[in-house]
């Protein structure tokens, strides 16, 4: 995912925007076309390498993990820069 979206872009987004935005949450969602491309790549990679196919739920979880990691990384960098 960091090849497609920057750490900052992931950290400051609402992820895929699957759940409705909370009140006063104006963060953008990640580009749907890029997300579709990532999912298509993962699907073709699994088929080409004779790996078990991933479900849409598994791919959504992986994207959510990447966004959560980006947020933690940004937070850690902000704390380190204050010292």
pLDDT at residue 81, rounded to an integer = 82
User: Is residue 21 in a domain?
Assistant: no
* Sequence-separated (6 or more) residues with CB below 8 Å from residue 75: none
pLDDT at residue 1, rounded to an integer = 76
- If one counts the domains in the chain, the total is 1
**Residues 32-56: tens digit of each pLDDT:** 999 999 999 999 999 999 999 999 9
Q: Is the dihedral of CA 59, 60, 61, 65 positive or negative?
A: positive
User: Is residue 55 in a domain?
Assistant: yes
User: Is residue 22 in a domain?
Assistant: no
The model carries a pTM of 0.84
- Which residue, chain included where needed, has tokens 């999912």? 39
Sequential DSSP letters for 5-51 = S-HHHHHTS-TT--SPPPTT--PPPPPHHHHHHHHHHHHHHHHHTTP
Domain extent at residue 49: 7-15+28-82
User: Is residue 1 in a domain?
Assistant: no
């Amino acid at each position: 995912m960091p090849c497609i979206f920057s750490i900052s872009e992931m950290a400051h987004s609402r992820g895929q925007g699957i759940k409705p935005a909370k009140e006063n949450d104006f963060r953008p969602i990640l580009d749907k076309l890029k997300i579709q491309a990532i999912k298509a790549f993962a699907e073709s990679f699994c088929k080409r390498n004779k790996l078990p196919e991933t479900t849409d739920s598994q791919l959504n979880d992986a994207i959510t993990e990447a966004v959560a990691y980006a947020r933690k990384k940004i937070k850690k960098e902000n704390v380190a820069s204050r010292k």
